[in-house]
Amino acid sequence: MDFQFIGNSVWIDFVNTRVSHDEECLTTFEDLLAWALEAGVIDLGTKRSLPKSVSRTEQKRILRDARALRTTLVGAAKQMLDGARPRPSTISRVNGLLRDHPRIIQLRKRSGEWSSQSELVSSGADGILAAIAEDFASFVVEAETSLLRVCQKDPCELLFYDTSRNHARRWCSMQICGNRTKVARHRARQSEHAEAYA
């Protein structure tokens, strides 16, 4: 599966899994794990061990919950694109995940250096949803929500947070939509010329 990581935020990249080239990106539990690995939400060891430690029924439940969370976040994105705040129902769903998956601080030694690290108390597949919820929570607190954008190339619906210096980013990516738009404009100009001299 071709996941898009163009959103500049984990929760936005997660929202973008609903469609990529007209395809649902999360059709199986494995898809969710593959996305989480690429998104940096879980490590390779976790990706390999989770399918063995989580029952089939539980895998289906987690995939269903993931998609439900995504629907909630799609709604939140629409509200923010309209200049509104996320609805109380969105906030309570996110708060529910944060409450169910608290973090603790632990000292760890890496390469002889101590560092304090924040870790989820319960790791596991639900931790993926908690990580997405955490990212959304930081976004609501820290981000300039007016810079949440949707790609201008119709019908592309990919979302991104515009961190470009002059905030003039228009497309999900130059490779996907920027180029197509430029090529289309170029063709349109050429055919105008052709008609003008016909």
CB of 130 vs Zn ion, minimal distance in Å: 29
12 counts as binding Zn ion under rule CB under 5 A:
no
2: left (phi over 0), alpha (psi -120 to 50) or beta: beta
148 counts as binding Zn ion under rule CB under 5 A:
no
- Asked whether 81 and 150 are in contact (CB, 8 A), the reply is yes
CB of 21 vs Zn ion, minimal distance in Å: 10
Q: Which is nearer to Zn ion, 26 or 156 (CB)?
A: 156
Preceding peptide of 155 cis, ω within 30°: yes
CB of 24 vs Zn ion, minimal distance in Å: 17
DSSP run (H or E) holding 107: strand 103-110
Q: Which is nearer to Zn ion, 2 or 142 (CB)?
A: 2
**Spatial separation of the C-alpha atoms in residues 122 and 119, rounded to whole Å:** 9
- Contacting Zn ion (CB under 5 A), which of 18, 149, 153, 169? 153
CB of 160 vs Zn ion, minimal distance in Å: 9
**At 5, which amino acid appears?**
F
**Spatial separation of the C-alpha atoms in residues 164 and 168, rounded to whole Å:** 7
Give the single-character DSSP code of 118: E
Please write down the long-range contacts of 160-166, taking CB distance under 8 Å and 24 or more positions apart.
160/6, 160/7, 160/8, 160/12, 161/7, 161/8, 161/9, 161/12, 162/8, 163/8
CB of 42 vs Zn ion, minimal distance in Å: 27
156 counts as binding Zn ion under rule CB under 5 A:
yes
Task: Write out the binding residues for Zn ion, residues 168-187 only, by CB under 5 A.
Answer: 172, 177
Q: Which is nearer to Zn ion, 97 or 177 (CB)?
A: 177
Task: Write out the binding residues for Zn ion, residues 25-84 only, by CB under 5 A.
Answer: none
CB of 152 vs Zn ion, minimal distance in Å: 8
Judged by CB under 5 A, the stretch of 63-71, 72-80, 167-175, 189-197 that binds Zn ion is: 167-175
Binding site for Zn ion (CB under 5 A): 151, 153, 156, 158, 172, 177
